[in-house]
Amino acid sequence: MAMTEEERFRFDLTGFLVRPAILTPDEVAEIVDQADRIRHNPESLPPEQRAIPGGAASLLIDHPKVIEVLHEIIGPDVRLEACGLTWRLKGECHGELHGGGPGQADPIFGYRVKNGRIHAGMVRVVFELTDVKKEDGATCFIVGSHKANFPMHPDHMSWEEGKESEFLMRYECPAGSAIFFTENLCHAGPVWKRDTPRIAILHAYAHLATHWHRLKIPPEVMAGLPREKLAYFREPWIADFRTSPATINTMERFMGNEEAPVNTDHQP
């Protein structure tokens, strides 16, 4: 098992987990440089690096410190469904608290534990590329709400200072940290309070058999990714019974078969 017992306990209890500084300072600097160019000067980058997860950011697709956690909380077959860059200036926000409560019944987002194993639906991973302090205004969570059986109560739906729920939790972490949270955890992207921007990359991973987001990654960015990273974007199915025995959509099959298609969901 790759997660420590404490990490497993913490993720199950709260619905989120911080793995501090899994990236080296050089890796952070390279991805920040790419993010800065995407935001301010995309023409200075080759086309396949002008969006996440191309270029330096492709390191994050299959980072071992991330994948080992996903294998434990989603399962051995994981897909990457969505990726994006957050470059948030002071005063900007993503939005109100959302998610949590009985949505856990939905197999796409649901969270359950059976026979000593966590089965989370979609899991988001935030890669913070700057040092984050609790008061900065990064993603915040209503802990435990991923398992709540009753609808989120309005008294617990504010992230404003003085009005916030006693269950609202924020994190602090050094640059290069990964924050995992189940999509069924009530969370928000509140107002960013720091003078310097929040630079973060958000990924959404899911079980290989599920498909929520249609792919928004530009085809030229996909075309620039090596096969072992494209494997995380393979088509969302488990077994093909048109063959006998059934063909299983494993990572190995994808890698060993140049013809195996990625989820080319770009078409209308």
Ligand X SMILES: O=C(O)CCC(=O)C(=O)O
Q: Of the two residues 213 and 227, which places its CB atom closer to ligand X in the complex?
A: 213
Q: How many helices (H) and strands (E) does the chain have?
A: 6, 13
Residue 236 tokens, joined: 């969302």
Residue 39 tokens, joined: 């935001």
Residue 242 tokens, joined: 């048109």
In DSSP notation, 7-53 reads HHHHHHHHSEEEETT-S-HHHHHHHHHHHHHHHH-GGGS-GGGSSTT
Establish if 202 lies at the interface with ligand X (CB under 6 A): yes
d(CA 229, CA 215): 15
Q: Helix H segments across 160-240?
A: 219-223, 227-230
Which residue's CB comes closest to ligand X?
A: 189
Establish if 201 lies at the interface with ligand X (CB under 6 A): no
Establish if 189 lies at the interface with ligand X (CB under 6 A): yes
Minimum CB–partner distance for residue 194 and ligand X (Å): 13
Q: Of the two residues 11 and 141, which places its CB atom closer to ligand X in the complex?
A: 141
Q: Of the two residues 96 and 228, which places its CB atom closer to ligand X in the complex?
A: 96
Minimum CB–partner distance for residue 78 and ligand X (Å): 18
Nearest residue to 132 via CA among 17, 12, 18: 18
Size of the site for ligand X (CB under 6 A): 6
The binder of ligand X chosen from 187, 207, 229, 234 (CB under 6 A)? 187
DSSP state of 243: S
Q: Of the two residues 71 and 94, which places its CB atom closer to ligand X in the complex?
A: 94
Establish if 139 lies at the interface with ligand X (CB under 6 A): yes
Nearest residue to 260 via CA among 241, 234, 226: 234
d(CA 129, CA 150): 35
Contact string (CB under 6 A) for ligand X, positions 91-130, x = contact: ---x------------------------------------
The binder of ligand X chosen from 86, 145, 177, 249 (CB under 6 A)? 86
Contact string (CB under 6 A) for ligand X, positions 42-81, x = contact: ----------------------------------------
Q: Beta strand 177-182 with 16-19: parallel, antiparallel or unpaired?
A: antiparallel
Q: Of the two residues 22 and 204, which places its CB atom closer to ligand X in the complex?
A: 204
d(CA 247, CA 46): 37
Q: Of the two residues 86 and 182, which places its CB atom closer to ligand X in the complex?
A: 86
Minimum CB–partner distance for residue 94 and ligand X (Å): 3
Q: Of the two residues 126 and 222, which places its CB atom closer to ligand X in the complex?
A: 126
d(CA 254, CA 248): 10
Residues of this chain that interact with ligand X (CB under 6 A) are 86, 94, 139, 187, 189, 202
